Structure 1
Amino acid sequence: MTPPLQPLLHDLVGVVLAPTSVLSDAGGQIRPGVGVQGVFRADARVLSRAELRLDGRELEPIAHAPDGPHGARFVGLARWLGDPGPDPTVRVDRLRHLDGDGLTEEIVVRSTAAVPVRALLTVDLACDLAPIEVLKSGGSAPSLPAEAGPDGLTWQAGGTTVTVTGEDAAVADGALRWPIDLPPGGTATLRWHLLVEDPKAVVAAPAGPLPWSRPEVTAGDHRLTRLLERSLDDLQALRLTEAGDPDGTFIGAGVPWFLTLFGRDSLWAARMMLPLGTDLAASTLRVLARRQGTRDDPASGEAPGKIMHELRRHEFHLAGNGLRLPAAYYGTVDATMLWVILLHEAWRWGLPPERVEPLLPHLEAALGWLAESADPDGDGFVEYRDTSGRGLSNQGWKDSGDAVRFHDGRRATAPIALVEVQGYAYQAAVGGADLLEAFGRPGAQRWREHAARLAERFRAAFWVDGPLGAHPALALDAAKRPVDSLTSNIGHLLGTGLLTAAESAQVAAVLATPEMSGGFGLRTMSTTDAGFSPLSYHCGSIWAHDTAIVLSGLAETGHGAPAARLADGLLGAAEAFGYRLPELYGGDERTLLGRPVPYPAACSPQAWSAAASVAILRAVLGLHPDVPNGRLEVRPLPGLPFGPVTARGLRIAGATIDVSLDATGTAKVSGLPADIAVVAA
């Protein structure tokens, strides 16, 4: 018997306004028992069926498109109605919009027929309140009994109440029903509404305005502006707070599986969005600091000073693989260091001292974790191992079970010291030292010395010779052997300070090879490695955020040409995906289909994929602020690879600034505070 498989997502149409999201087919239908179609609120499916029919027949879908940041429009035909002949004369537009409490759908039936049109329109409904992890495991849940009212249906279970009402609708047999009677050329507009009451949800919609700016961007390459527009809509839609904390905004990781607080994902998204202001970074840091670990708990992975991985309403149990994660799970090796790095970078972008200072005790606790719990065997490297037997076996950003492989395809055994994690540790130690010194707290010299020792040990232990040249290994395994595959992870070292200039140039060279950069972005693993597969989750696919991180590091370390090539790959992928970059996609050659092959279970929209658009913009403009020292260094990508660019409405030190690159590649910055000077490279 074939075990249940995770549902495919690539051909579904998503609409999101966190914590609510909708996944339907291309015609707008939500079909029962078909994968993960449905309306979701936080971690539960609150509507498992919403099928529209005219006279018991389904429409023929012909088009769909976004309708604003939180909506979609579906167009279908009823060719059996209206005038005979080849041209359709009865069309139905289905407009779906999310609001703070649920969903509204408007159904517009238009006739251009010369004869009257009469029909019965029905919307069949069901609710199962299936937990998201059950659906991710390929499972399902039975439909709940519905209580019928005069104009709608209600379902209740576990404290959650789901209500659907139809304006002027009759209710029968689990469906809303409207008679349609159109004169020649007539139109009818019908509406139904979904309302969800879920007092046990751990996440909620945020209050107040966006905590970031929405810049106006023009570029010679219109793909860049289109990607930014769609991505900023999606980032707005992915905003969340913890229930009971309406001001603690962060970005939920992605639809449908991860629409909640994820330490790593939320931190990276906030970091990429620093050119739009520091408010999101400040609130993300504060939310995660409030849940910073205080005790040692092997079951949850919690440790003193450690930053959490993910938050759920209950245990997250994926059937079939033994994974049982507690509601608050700390099984991440990198989130703690990424928290420190974000605090340091937000300070450099102008986060005011009075907002930095309350976070300094959490900084010291995070550095304490780095000094102690992060290195259990005392060899000087940060490493991980799941000691519970129920958690994630790999705890870096590549967290699938087969993600850490040798060049010959063998899997590494834990404890594992990942390459990029050592770069994060170095950057966190140096950035933490800067903050401690700037705010008059002890320990700065200790952490600079820690970083220097780490760089020396790293240089001796991690470098290997591979088919494409020397490069850092993916990791060290339990026996301290270098895991010698060539992966995108090494690109995360660029810009951390761990590498010398010569080492950065060598990393840039191997990443620029066709074996790594021949697809629409950066492959997660080289085609020369035995574990490579273009549709492997972490061993050959392309992730938008991963590519954006690496191209940012390439740009920062002066390797503009490979950075521009990776950015061009992301823009090509964005065009193919309607400018909503999914979580990941296939790592095939660009020439294979002329467009990327979808990874069929990828989340979309997804936080750090959407935030990658801002990272590309920053790399193109070359913005490197150091507000505490009164500097803004501007180092645009050479050669204007995306034409002249103007960005109006970026933020540095709380000021709204404009940045432009003219046809000669000359940068101009206006609106900076008087105490910040522009320094050209």
Structure 2
Amino acid sequence: MKERVRILDGNTFLVSDRVGDIEPSVDFPTGMFSFDTRFLSTWLLKLDGQRLHELSLDDTESYQTRFFLVPGEPTHYLDAKASVIRERSIGGSLDEQLSVFNHTRAEVGFTVRIEMGADFADLFEIKDLQHKKGRVTAIPGVNELRLAYQRETFRREAMISSTAPAEVDERGMTFRIRVGPQSEWNTRLRVVPVIRSSRGQDFRAVLPIAGLRDVEAIRSEQRKFVERAPKLGCDCGPLAGAYRRSLDDLSALRYESISLGVRLVAAGLPWFMTLFGRDSIFTSLQVLPFLPELVPPTITLLAGLQGTRLDDFRDEEPGKILHELRYGETSGFEEQPHSPYYGAADSTPLFVILLDEYERWTGDDQLVRRLETSVRAALAWIDSYGDLLGTGYVWYHSRNPGTGLENQCWKDSWDGIPYRDGRLPGFPRATCELQGYAYDAKLRGARLARTFFDDPEYADRLEREAAELKARFNRDFWVADGGYYALALDADGAQVDGLSSNLGHLLWSGIVDESRAPQVAEHLLSPELFSGWGIRTLATGQARYNPIGYHVGTVWPFDNSFIAWGLWRYGFRSEAGRLAEAVLSASRHFGGRLPEAFAGYPRELTDYPVEYPTACSPQAWSAGTPLLLLRVMLGLQPQGEHLIIDPAVPEGMGRIELLDIPGRWGRVDALGRSRSPRDPDRGH
């Protein structure tokens, strides 16, 4: 796949090739997108009928890119008579400053042509090759072109304008220009995406919601965002680079809800620029010690959209937390169930975990009290609709066999839950980490009930149920001949005995029996699971293992950050540090930006982490990974009104200093230093 260039700012993002062109593609979604609709599917620049070629590319900022281009083939670059610069930014709209340079000593005439088009495809249509059912129209005007789409009350528009005079037709704009000797010609092109809502046929523009912003406004906002985070000083270059890149990406991924007007963090570009239950909660847990203000909008919106009824099409159930919220055409006409869709069995217990962890850090008891009803409903879901078979475990089986997700855990690809021999179990399924999340949610729910809901009887019941679940889990999920926990139980209660990274989530939840934790940690850091760059989703030796299989052998940075947290929880500090070092070392090969996933090849085989071909980048929970690893290495843990700091920095990483860590204690500093191998008894 040809390398793509991506820029984004909140609601709007653009994906192009390395010269800035956009062409319709089914293998990867190029174009300009906003709220799940592609507002530009064609944007091709030609100079005197020729496509342009790359000299250089500046894409250091997430919201702007500069392309330095020349006409002709690469062999003709020497002493080019003309060149072109495209300076592009995203700020609610696409702004492109187009400059044509004449490098000769005589005036030269050029014909500049930009092919423009919009298919207004829904993201699901791009992925599934569906066809539009509405009508696309193109309306030329004076130096502007309006591209419009309407299907009943669903209406979207792309308003394209130029500051320079242009010949406008239904397929683009042509500029016939003369440029003086050693001079330049410029125009500024703007593409504004417009969503129109309607009452009857009275359409009203409601987008761009956040308004049109210039580069300076975006830069200022991102600078303030980064400045609010704790200041990192360290001797480890990969850590410093990954931390700053993560903050930049988290800032860029924030978007404004189309209906509620609150700022949220989108899950990832290009497929997941929206609110997700699971992804948003995991990201919130990662960033909580650094940017706690990101959490309340997310958890409040999740509570507001909590399931209230039985809806088979959307997999909705009372008390259930959503999986995914979409705004596109296929959701609006119920061709996809994502308005919102509830097909996740883990987002509901994770919701309770996040709220408790948020209060432990911030002391925000008012939010906890406001969400009491939502917490009770979520905990009730675990024991009712979550326990499909009445066995005391959380199971999943989609109510919607047509468009619902088969696997409703984080490894949600079709083959993500295999037996050791490669077979796939039937439904329902009870994956191991779901039981860990339910256990943790019950204990945390008990604390909330006792401390804030004034309901000690409810708290006692939740603690009793958690203890029973832990004992039952350690009996039924333990694979005796392998010394690890099964990936899942099948509908007959038999073990789905795949060896997977899910073991680390069990440590994080606390459901692992103390006596078995050493075996679990040993498996996680074994050559079968640990590649040297991180822990694989599925171990080598399993029948379905594939180092470039989405959930059956790749390494997921987010997954590894929670595994490190789990190792830390059970006292395996050096193992957690070894994992942190591996993932941070991998980040250096991705320019500091950890992708959604990368290949599970052994480190000694490749010497660098191999890219997964269609990984989202940036992705929120990958951007949150360096932050959570920092928490683990510094041993940060809230305890009442205080922050416990108990660092265990990996050998060779040197000094780590994190200043102004926010929380209920105000702001505090943390310092850790790796132990010298020549002085093993030296303190941290």
TM surpasses 0.5: yes
1:632 and 2:625 correspond: no
Q: How far 1:435 sits from its partner (Å)?
A: 0.8
Amino acid of the structure 1 residue aligned with 2:192: L
Question: Residue 38 of structure 2 contacts residue 122 of structure 2 at CA under 8 Å; is this kept in 1?
Answer: yes
1:149 and 2:134 correspond: no
Instruction: Give the equivalent residue in structure 2 for 1:94.
Output: 86
- Deviations 1:558-586, CA, capped at 9 Å, x for gaps: 22333233223322332222222221121
1:555 and 2:604 correspond: no
Question: Residue 478 of structure 2 contacts residue 486 of structure 2 at CA under 8 Å; is this kept in 1?
Answer: yes
Q: Please, which of 256, 266, 271 is the counterpart of residue 270 of structure 2? A: 256
Instruction: Rate the CA distance shift 1:474–1:202 in 2: closer, same or farther, 3 A.
Output: farther
Q: Distance in 2 between matches of 1:559 and 1:162?
A: 54
Q: How far 1:636 sits from its partner (Å)?
A: 1.7
Secondary structure, in 3 states, of the residue corresponding to 1:93? strand
Instruction: Rate the CA distance shift 1:531–1:316 in 2: closer, same or farther, 3 A.
Output: farther
Q: How far 1:410 sits from its partner (Å)?
A: 0.3
Secondary structure, in 3 states, of the residue corresponding to 1:59? strand
Q: Please, which of 517, 522, 529 is the counterpart of residue 530 of structure 2? A: 517
Q: Please, which of 159, 179, 186 is the counterpart of residue 163 of structure 1? A: 159
Q: How far 1:90 sits from its partner (Å)?
A: 3.6
Instruction: Rate the CA distance shift 1:211–1:115 in 2: closer, same or farther, 3 A.
Output: closer
Question: Residue 36 of structure 2 contacts residue 328 of structure 2 at CA under 8 Å; is this kept in 1?
Answer: no
Q: Please, which of 244, 250, 257 is the counterpart of residue 242 of structure 1? A: 257
Question: Residue 10 of structure 2 contacts residue 256 of structure 2 at CA under 8 Å; is this kept in 1?
Answer: no
Secondary structure, in 3 states, of the residue corresponding to 1:325? coil
1:363 and 2:354 correspond: no
Q: How far 1:259 sits from its partner (Å)?
A: 1.2
Q: What is the 5 A alignment of 1:363-402?
A: 363-390=375-402, 391-402=404-415
1:272 and 2:286 correspond: yes
Question: Residue 529 of structure 2 contacts residue 535 of structure 2 at CA under 8 Å; is this kept in 1?
Answer: yes
Q: How far 1:133 sits from its partner (Å)?
A: 0.3
Query: What TM-score does the superposition give when structure 1 sets the normalisation length?
Result: 0.89
The worse-fitting range, judged by mean Cα deviation, of 447-456 and 49-58 is 49-58
Q: Please, which of 48, 55, 78 is the counterpart of residue 71 of structure 2? A: 78
Q: What is the 5 A alignment of 1:69-218?
A: 69-78=62-71, 86-88=78-80, 90-100=82-92, 102-114=93-105, 116-139=107-130, 144-158=136-150, 159-173=155-169, 174-200=171-197, 213-218=228-233
Q: What is the 5 A alignment of 1:568-579?
A: 568-579=581-592
Instruction: Rate the CA distance shift 1:184–1:644 in 2: closer, same or farther, 3 A.
Output: farther
Q: Distance in 2 between matches of 1:578 and 1:181?
A: 41
Instruction: Rate the CA distance shift 1:183–1:659 in 2: closer, same or farther, 3 A.
Output: farther
- Deviations 1:270-294, CA, capped at 9 Å, x for gaps: 1110012322222111001001111
Question: Residue 81 of structure 2 contacts residue 102 of structure 2 at CA under 8 Å; is this kept in 1?
Answer: yes
Q: How far 1:314 sits from its partner (Å)?
A: 5.5
Q: Distance in 2 between matches of 1:89 and 1:519?
A: 50
Q: Distance in 2 between matches of 1:140 and 1:569?
A: 44
Q: Please, which of 16, 24, 35 is the counterpart of residue 24 of structure 1? A: 16
Instruction: Give the equivalent residue in structure 1 for 2:521.
Output: 508
Q: How far 1:141 sits from its partner (Å)?
A: 5.5
- Deviations 1:341-368, CA, capped at 9 Å, x for gaps: 0001001111421222101121111111
Amino acid of the structure 2 residue aligned with 1:127: A
Amino acid of the structure 2 residue aligned with 1:653: R
Q: How far 1:135 sits from its partner (Å)?
A: 0.4
Q: How far 1:483 sits from its partner (Å)?
A: 0.7
Question: Residue 202 of structure 1 contacts residue 313 of structure 1 at CA under 8 Å; is this kept in 2?
Answer: no
Query: What residue ranges of structure 2 are gaps of 5+ in the alignment?
Result: 198-204, 212-220, 677-682
Instruction: Rate the CA distance shift 1:56–1:355 in 2: closer, same or farther, 3 A.
Output: same
- Deviations 1:490-541, CA, capped at 9 Å, x for gaps: 1101132212333222211101011111152211000110010111111111
Q: Distance in 1 between matches of 2:599 and 2:124?
A: 24
Secondary structure, in 3 states, of the residue corresponding to 2:188? strand
Aligned residues: 648
Instruction: Give the equivalent residue in structure 2 for 1:460.
Output: 475
- Deviations 1:231-283, CA, capped at 9 Å, x for gaps: 22221121134323223x32111222221111111111111100123222221
Query: What TM-score does the superposition give when structure 2 sets the normalisation length?
Result: 0.89
The worse-fitting range, judged by mean Cα deviation, of 203-212 and 615-624 is 203-212
Q: Distance in 1 between matches of 2:184 and 2:446?
A: 67
1:478 and 2:491 correspond: yes
- Deviations 1:304-327, CA, capped at 9 Å, x for gaps: 11111111236758xxxx994342
Q: Distance in 2 between matches of 1:648 and 1:195?
A: 41
Amino acid of the structure 1 residue aligned with 2:186: T
Q: How far 1:384 sits from its partner (Å)?
A: 0.8
Structure 1 vs Structure 2 CA RMSD: 2.8
- Deviations 1:361-399, CA, capped at 9 Å, x for gaps: 211111111121111222111111113212111100011
Question: Residue 203 of structure 1 contacts residue 260 of structure 1 at CA under 8 Å; is this kept in 2?
Answer: no
Instruction: Give the equivalent residue in structure 1 for 2:312.
Output: 298
1:346 and 2:387 correspond: no
The worse-fitting range, judged by mean Cα deviation, of 427-436 and 130-139 is 130-139
Question: Residue 212 of structure 1 contacts residue 276 of structure 1 at CA under 8 Å; is this kept in 2?
Answer: no
- Deviations 1:632-669, CA, capped at 9 Å, x for gaps: 2212224454221222343112733333335769xxxx
Q: Distance in 2 between matches of 1:214 and 1:205?
A: 26
Secondary structure, in 3 states, of the residue corresponding to 1:413? coil
Instruction: Rate the CA distance shift 1:643–1:177 in 2: closer, same or farther, 3 A.
Output: farther
Question: Residue 26 of structure 2 contacts residue 129 of structure 2 at CA under 8 Å; is this kept in 1?
Answer: no
